Amino acid sequence: MTQQRAMTLTTPSDREIQLTRTFDAPRELVWKAMTEARLVEQWWGPRRYTAHVDKLDLRVGGAWRYLNRGADGQEFWFNGVFREIVPPERLVWTFEFEGFPGHVSVETMTLEEHDGKTTLTATAVVDTVEDRDGMIQSGMEEGAAESYDRLEELLRTIA
């Protein structure tokens, strides 16, 4: 288990990666920031990228597609399909980095509120241990931690 900033990454099994972060905001607000395109664009990805939401069709079977673009013009696209939506407590979707096609994870995010703070738990299930290790080695921990830092900052401004 590693700890980076306020986020924790664990590997509960050979095919799972779990991220946990507590935000100082009610879960309805965290849900809103994670499901509205104009807000997602303000926190998705590391600071060195700008984010663009190409699609965010928040319904079961609806697609999502996000872009991170660097100052040098380099683009990184991500996409998936929503499988389960239980506002404001649970989202299940597929996740694929388009730069590594065919390696699709199923991600489950839960939001639990206690005393006005919300704990986000995101669990990704991949096909193989190699996929799990590849995701971790790709820098996803650093990127997710920085994204969650940015989300925390956004939550303070929209509270």
What's the pLDDT tens digit per position in 48-99? 999 999 999 999 999 999 999 999 999 999 999 999 999 999 999 999 999 9
Percent of the chain at pLDDT > 70 equals 97
Give the mean pLDDT of the chain. Answer: 95
Terminal Cα-to-Cα distance of the chain (whole angstroms)? 32
Q: How many helices (H) and strands (E) does the chain have?
A: 4, 9
The separation between CA 67 and the C-alpha centre of its own chain, rounded to angstroms, equals 13
Report how far residue 51's alpha carbon sits from residue 151's, in angstroms, rounded to the nearest whole number.
13
68: tokens are 């991170």
pLDDT at 2 over 70: no
Look at residues 34, 2, 27, 6 and name the one whose alpha carbon lies nearest to residue 17. Answer: 2
Report how far residue 122's alpha carbon sits from residue 124's, in angstroms, rounded to the nearest whole number.
7
- At 13-62, the pLDDT tens digits run 999 999 999 999 999 999 999 999 999 999 999 999 999 999 999 999 99
The separation between CA 14 and the C-alpha centre of its own chain, rounded to angstroms, equals 20
Specify the pTM. Answer: 0.93
Q: Which fold has domain 2-45+84-158?
A: Alpha-D-Glucose-1,6-Bisphosphate; Chain A, domain 4 (3.30.530)
How does DSSP classify residue 61? T
Report how far residue 142's alpha carbon sits from residue 149's, in angstroms, rounded to the nearest whole number.
11
- At 133-143, the pLDDT tens digits run 999 998 899 99
pLDDT at 1 over 60: no
Confidence band for 159, pLDDT divided at 50, 70 and 90: confident
> What confidence score (pLDDT) does residue 74 get?
96
Confidence band for 5, pLDDT divided at 50, 70 and 90: low
Burial classification of residue 94, based on how many CB atoms lie within 10 Å of its CB (0-12 exposed, 13-18 middle, 19 or more buried): middle
Report how far residue 90's alpha carbon sits from residue 84's, in angstroms, rounded to the nearest whole number.
8
The separation between CA 90 and the C-alpha centre of its own chain, rounded to angstroms, equals 13
